Amino acid sequence: MNVLVTGGAGFIGSHLVDRLIELGKNVIIIDNLSSGLKTNLNSSAIFYKMDIRSLNLKKVFQNHEIDSVFHFAAQIDIRKSLSEIEYEIDVNVKGSVNLIVNAAKYGVAETYFASSGGAIYGEQIEYPATEDHPTEPESPYGIDKLTIEKYLFCFKKLYGFNTSIFRFSNVYGPRQNPQSEAGVVSIFANRMLKDKKINIYGDGNQTRDFVYIRDVVDAMVEVYEQKTQGIFNISTGKEATVNEIFHILADELKYGREPIYLEARPGELLRSLLSHDKLKSATGWEPTRDMRTGLRETGEWFKENFK
């Protein structure tokens, strides 16, 4: 089986690549290394340093008979999606469509897409949000994730490939890039280890559904191996405040400073909590790592790798 993973040098993509290789798949990675790292690349994978917007993308499909595509490559910064909207649309819409068109043209059997529950549902009206929750994105990033979901279902009808959508909650864990604006856990861990001050925007009581990367990979592999199709939230179904995350990590990493509270940033969600009942019914998957274990493992990894 030849599996193409875009964004395979990034946080979530690289963990999935490792697991697919353990499962004996031939993995081909496309990544432009804009936020991904060479050190995340699995040496058993074939690597193309390439942009998903490239006209040369077709050569990857011509060189390898691709059976499955996991699409993770993206501009992931919600604030940048507002300040650099043309770049956002270029990568997250045009780049994704370029990939999907090639997948259809070269007879790919199945596609999997990294979407975002938090960004697509917007400020929720029901807690936890199921996959049927109204979609009211509050950023171009959310609109573009929803757009690509629609493209995939349209192309599924037109060209007959299978499609599954992963609507992640807030994924955290080893390899999450602390330089990006996306991951509060990695940003906190990195700054705590350097004994730098930490800003919290708002009162810190905003909540997120933090799901650990190892659980996320297990979930994606269940969907892939069981050939389950549809839209699935991948989440814990539990919420934690930013303050709680701060205090558990501070405890694990022996960080003595207090956070600095700044004005809340406009557009930031107050609560985000997603149900994973649909995925559990379809595949039996459930998250198994509690938050302290996940944060401890993440802290340990940052100690080794990000000093």
What residues make contact with ligand NAD under the rule CB under 6 A? 7, 9-13, 30-36, 51-53, 72-76, 91, 95, 114, 116, 168, 170-171, 177, 180, 182
Task: Please confirm, yes or no, whether 127 is among the known catalytic residues.
Answer: no
For 56, 145, 184, 207, 231, the CA distances from 69, given in Å and listed in that order, are: 17, 16, 28, 32, 16
| The residue type at 186 | S
| Backbone region of residue 15 per phi and psi (left: phi > 0; alpha: psi in -120 to 50; beta: other values) | alpha
Residue 173 or residue 299: which is nearer to ligand NAD going by CB? 173
Residue 51 or residue 218: which is nearer to ligand NAD going by CB? 51
> In whole angstroms, how close is the CB of 73 to ligand NAD at the nearest point?
4
Residue 197 or residue 223: which is nearer to ligand NAD going by CB? 223
> In whole angstroms, how close is the CB of 158 to ligand NAD at the nearest point?
23
Residue 165 or residue 193: which is nearer to ligand NAD going by CB? 165
User: Which tokens hold the place of 61?
Assistant: 């499909």
> In whole angstroms, how close is the CB of 220 to ligand NAD at the nearest point?
11
Residue 7 or residue 174: which is nearer to ligand NAD going by CB? 7
> In whole angstroms, how close is the CB of 258 to ligand NAD at the nearest point?
26
User: Which tokens hold the place of 281?
Assistant: 């019914």
112, 121, 141, 224: which is the annotated catalytic residue? 141
Residue 50: how many CB atoms within 10 A of its CB?
A: 18
Residue 199 burial class via C-beta count within 10 angstroms: exposed 0-12, middle 13-18, buried 19 and up: exposed
Query: Is the link from the previous residue into 128 a cis peptide, with omega within 30 of 0?
Result: yes
> In whole angstroms, how close is the CB of 99 to ligand NAD at the nearest point?
9
Nearest-5° angle of CA 211, CA 198, CA 10? 40
Residue 34 or residue 62: which is nearer to ligand NAD going by CB? 34
CA atoms within 13 A on the CB side of 135: 20
Residue 22: how many CB atoms within 10 A of its CB?
A: 11
Three-class secondary structure of residue 80 per DSSP: helix
Residue 241 CA to residue 209 CA, distance in Å, equals 9
| 280 Cα distance to chain centroid | 19
> In whole angstroms, how close is the CB of 298 to ligand NAD at the nearest point?
13
Catalytic positions are 141
